[in-house]
Amino acid sequence: MANAIEEQDALDWVKNDKRRMLHVVYRVGDLDKTIKFYTECLGMKVLRKRDIPEERYSNAFLGYGPEESHFAIELTYNYGVDKYDIGDGFGHFGIAAEDVAKTINLIKGKGGKVTREPGPVKGGNTIIAFIEDPDGYKFEILERRLTSEPLCQVMLRVGDLDRSIKFYKKAFGMDLLRKKDNPDYKYTTAIMGYGPEDENAVLELTYNYGVTDYDKGNGYAQVAIGTNDVYKTAEAIKLSGGEIVREPGPLPGINTKITVCLDPDGWKWVWLIML
């Protein structure tokens, strides 16, 4: 009985924890080239940049506002590595724009690669377009009214959508914001997050009929989420069937406490205490 009560306490705490998606991390082959594309074509700003020569990598944070209040991108460049395998599990990032056609014309003018021209989404009315960045990462441009969070979505493919929804609700405390089945195109999507999707970055999970496993490649890395307590977070993840691959605790040399986990499909998530 005591263990059952402790488990319920841990899972109840998840829903009361103050959580926010902080940034998404992935690897690129030419940091300066990617920064130029994101700032000139997508209107992002460089929030900070650092070089760590002793560990042979550099990284840069980009986004549409301060990291304290906005979702951001963390680009990582490893010395001497100019190409990565993105795999078929990672889907795309989402960017909201008031005028998709205007945004696409700008991207074309800068030499960007457009893989889907502006038009209504299949089975709906929202105007979207798709582009690729210099490394081949896909971005979906979605037409929306002016929003405080233009960097609005990370899409990952999963092998069992109901299992994933249950995990993210229980272990991560996310809400299922909407779910849509598209039988004509043989896929189902679920939008999950910590607030309305027109005001917050969200996770889009996609299940393709009959596909249970994906190649994750070595380009996409992880999403970081802020939490008030990495120790309680790790315990709740374990109780929900997730795998902790880095036990909670401070990073060497600094006070930041983190824990790292894998979801049921092996997607990696990093949890940080927000200072």
Structure confidence by residue, pLDDT tens digits, 57-115: 999 999 999 999 999 999 999 999 999 999 999 999 999 999 999 999 999 998 899 99
Annotated binding site: 74, 92, 140
Task: Give the Cα separation of 213 and 99 in Å (integer).
Answer: 36
CB count, 10 Å around CB of 181?
A: 15
Whether 132 is catalytic: no
pLDDT at position 5:
47
pLDDT grade, residue 274 (50/70/90)?
A: low
Sheet holding 187-193, edge to edge: 113-120, 127-132, 138-143, 90-97, 151-157, 202-208, 187-193, 175-182
pLDDT grade, residue 252 (50/70/90)?
A: confident
pLDDT grade, residue 13 (50/70/90)?
A: confident
Q: What is the DSSP string of 93-125?
A: EEEEES-HHHHHHHHHHTTPEEEEEEEEPTTS-
Question: Which CATH number characterizes residue 265's domain?
Answer: 3.10.180.10
User: pTM of the prediction?
Assistant: 0.94
pLDDT grade, residue 254 (50/70/90)?
A: confident
φ, ψ of residue 54 to 5 degrees: the values are -65, -25
Structure confidence by residue, pLDDT tens digits, 166-220: 999 999 999 999 999 999 999 999 999 999 998 999 999 999 999 999 999 999 9
Q: Which residue range forms the structural domain that includes residue 48?
A: 1-273
Annotated binding site for Zn(2+): 74, 92, 140
Pairing between β-strand 72-78 and β-strand 90-97 as defined by DSSP bridges? unpaired
Type of residue at 89: G
Total domains, the chain: 1
* Among 140, 143, 197, 235, the one annotated catalytic: 140
